[in-house]
Amino acid sequence: MTAPQPVLPDYAGPNLAGLVPALLAPPGLRPKWVAQPAREAEQVVLLVLDGLGWTQLLERRGMATAMAAMAGGAITSVVPSTTACALTSLVVGAPPALHGVVGYRVAVQGPSGPEVMNVLKWRTPTGDARSFVDPGAFQTMTPFLGRPVPIVSKADFAGTAFTEAHQRGARQVGWHQPSGLAVEVRRLVAEGEPLVYAYYDGIDRVAHIHGFGPHYDAELVAADRIVSDLVESLPSRVAVVVTADHGQVEVGPNVVELDAGLLERVTMVSGEARFRWLHAADGRPEAVRDLVDLATDLYGHQAWVLSAEEAERSGWFGGSLSGDLRARLGDVAVVAFDPVGYLAPGESNETKLVCRHGSLTEEEMLVPLVAARGRLGG
C-alpha cells in the first residue's frame, strides 16, 4: 500500500501562524488570502471555534447557515494539528519551531530526569509541573506581536499555566455561558478595540465525547448561532472572522496499544494518539534508524513513520528547532493517516475519546478562514 501525501502547513502563506499578523496589519494592507470582508475592515473580531475542520464544515453547510454564507475558504493548521500547538501559533504569530509548544504531551526536564508533560493541564505523572517548568520560560514569545488585544474566552481558562504560557499579559475577558461571548465581544467593539480575539471550545469537546452524529450536529448549530449573533449585532465597519485550530477524525474503538517489543527500545512515549513520539533508549543514529524501521514494519500500513530530523527537513514545524526546543520532541514519529490511534502505557482512560486529531490528514489540517461584515449600519 502506498501512503497518501501528508497535508503540509503553508507557513509562508495562508496558515494559522500568519493569521494574527495579517489581521494586525492596517486595513487595505492585509494579504489576499485573508477573507475579503476582513481585508479593509476598521475593526475585526477573530472567533476561534476549537475543533471545527474545513471538511467537517463543508459536509454540514446546511446546518451552519451563517458560516456557509461567509466569504473565504480553507487555510492550513500547524504540525501537530493539536490545540496546544495550534493556539500558540495563532496567538504569537509564529510556527511551532519558533515558539516551542510542539505538542499536547512533550518531554520536559523534571526534578529527577526527563518526564512527559501534558501542556494543557501542565502536569506530569508526578503531579503539577509549575514548580519545575515555568510557563513564561517554556514559551517566551509575546502574544499578538505585543499589541493589547483582549481575549474573550471561558472564565475557567484564566490563570491556567497554558494560558500564561501562550497568552501572557493579554487582557482576559471571561464568559461563563456561551451566550455571554457575543455580549462581551459587542462591548469591546463598542469601546473601539481594533482586534478582539474570541474562543469557543464546544465543538471540540462534543466531538471527543460523542463523535460525529446528532450531538455534533446540534453543537455545530449552536456554534453557528454564536456566529450569526455576532454578524447580526455588529456594525458594518466590523468584520467577523471565523477560524479553528484543527479538524477531527472519528477513530472510535480503533485504538492500538503500542507493541511491547517496540516499547522495549524506548524510554518514553509522548505526543498523542494520532501523533506519537518515540523517545529512543539508544540515541545513536543507527539505533534511531532501526527504531524507524521497526515502527514502519508495525504501523507503516496506516501511519507515516519518520525520524524527527526528517520531519524537520520536510518543513513540518516551520524550521529547525533549537537544542532546548528540540529536546521536547522524541526521536521517531508515528503519525496516523488511517482513522486509528496509538495508545501509550498508562493512557487507558483515553480510549473513551471518539474523535481525535493531531495528524496531517486533510480532515485535521484544513481549517476554515471565513468572514462577513456586521449587518448593522455604522
Convert 222-252 into a string of H (helix), E (strand) and C (coil).
Answer: HHHHHHHHHHHHCECCEEEEEECCCCCEECC
**Quick one: pLDDT band at residue 323, thresholds 50, 70, 90?**
confident
**Quick one: pLDDT band at residue 289, thresholds 50, 70, 90?**
very high
Is 3.30.1360 the CATH number for 255-356?
yes
Asked whether the CA dihedral 203, 204, 206, 207 is positive or negative, the reply is: positive
Domain borders along the chain are 16-97+128-248+360-373, 255-356
pLDDT digits (tens, 9 = 90+) for 174-228: 999 999 999 999 999 999 999 999 999 999 999 999 999 999 999 999 999 999 9
Asked whether the CA dihedral 61, 233, 171, 154 is positive or negative, the reply is: negative
311 vs 279: CA distance, rounded Å: 15
DSSP, residue by residue, 200-212:
E-HHHHHHHHH-S
Which are the contacts of 155, defined by CB distance < 8 A and separation ≥ 6? 174, 175, 176
pLDDT digits (tens, 9 = 90+) for 28-78: 999 999 999 999 999 999 999 999 999 999 999 999 999 999 999 999 999
At 375 the three-state DSSP class reads: coil
At 304 the three-state DSSP class reads: strand
> Looking at domain 16-97+128-248+360-373, which CATH architecture does it have?
3-Layer(aba) Sandwich (3.40)
200 vs 176: CA distance, rounded Å: 11
Beta bridge partners, 303, equal: 336
pLDDT digits (tens, 9 = 90+) for 223-281: 999 999 999 999 999 999 999 999 999 999 999 999 999 999 999 999 999 999 999 99
> Average pLDDT of 335-345?
96
Identify the pLDDT of residue 341: 97
Predicted TM-score (pTM) of the model is: 0.96
pLDDT value at 349 more than 80: no
> Average pLDDT of 139-143?
97
Backbone dihedral angles phi then psi of residue 302, each to the nearest 5 degrees: -140, 5
**Quick one: pLDDT band at residue 319, thresholds 50, 70, 90?**
very high
Identify the pLDDT of residue 345: 87
